[in-house]
Amino acid sequence: MSTFVLVHGAWHGSWCWKRVRSSLQAKGHNVFTPTLTGVAERSHLLTRDVTLETHILDIVNLIRWEELSDIVLCGHSYGGCVISGVADRVPDCIRSLVYLDAFVLEDGENLLQQLPEDQQKQLQEGTTTLGEGWKVPPIPAEVFNVNANDNDWVNRQCTVQPIETFQQCIKLGGGIKNIKNVSYILATGFLEGSPFPPFYEKAKAKGWKTTTIGCGHDVMLDRPEELTGLLLDSAAMSQIARSGSRDA
C-alpha cells in the first residue's frame, strides 16, 4: 500500500482528481487530494493575500497533521510549483515526485515568467478587466483541450485565483535535491501554445524518468486509468530503488 498526495493546478480543486482518487483507493492505497486555499470549495477563503507560499503550507501542514510519510507527491500544472516548495521543506517525507504537465521552478523563479509574453499579457489583462486587479479568471477548458464530455463541467467548476500565486517567487533551500525518484509526464494533446515542453526537455536533461501521454492538459480527466498506472509505476520504482540501496 502506498500513500499519494495529488495537488491540483490553477483554478481547479480536489474535484478534478475524483476519478484517479477512486481508482487508487479501489486498489487499496491511501489518497489525499487537498483543495488549495481560495479555490473550489475553499473559495470562501479567497483574499488578495493568498500566495504560492500559502499553497505550499497547505500541503506541508496536511503532511504534518496527517502524519504522512513515504509519499508519492504529484502536482499538476501550477501544482508543480507547489510540490517543489513542499518537497524542499519536507524531503524526508517524500518517496517520489511526479510533475504532471507541470511547471518546474528553480529558486527565485515564479510561474508568470515561465509563460510566453502573449500569455502573460492575456492573463494580466483578464486580471485587470475581470478580476479587480488581483483575481485571475480561469482559462476555458477548451483552450486546454479538455475532452468534449467534460468541457462544460470543468468550466462550471473552476474558480478565480489570486495573482500572487503566479507572481510570488519560490524559495528553495536545496532540500528537494535529496529526492532522487522524480518523473515528468507531458500531455501531447495540448501542445499548441503549451508552456510545458521546455520543462519536459529539462526533465530529460536532469535524468528524470519522462513519459508522454496522448491527451489534453487535464490528464486526470482525459486518461484517469492510464494516469493511475503511471502513478503506481512511480511508487513501485521508488520502492525497488530503496530496497536495492538497502541491500547494497
Within 13 Å and on the Cβ side, how many CA atoms surround 204? 10
Residue 182, strand partner residues: 97
**Does the annotation count 77 as an active-site position?**
yes
Torsion of CA 152, 154, 160, 162, to 10 degrees: -150
Q: Which residue has the cell 518546474?
A: 104
Q: Cβ distance 5 to 68 under 8 Å?
A: yes
For residue 50, give the C-alpha cell: 493568498
Sign of CA dihedral 3, 162, 187, 115: negative
Which string of b and e fits 87-123 if b means at least 16 CB within 10 Å? bbbbeebbbbbbbbbbbbbeeebbbbebbeeeeeeeb
**Cell 475532452 belongs to which residue?**
147
Among 2, 14, 77, 194, which one carries the catalytic annotation? Answer: 77
Q: Please identify every residue annotated as catalytic.
A: 77
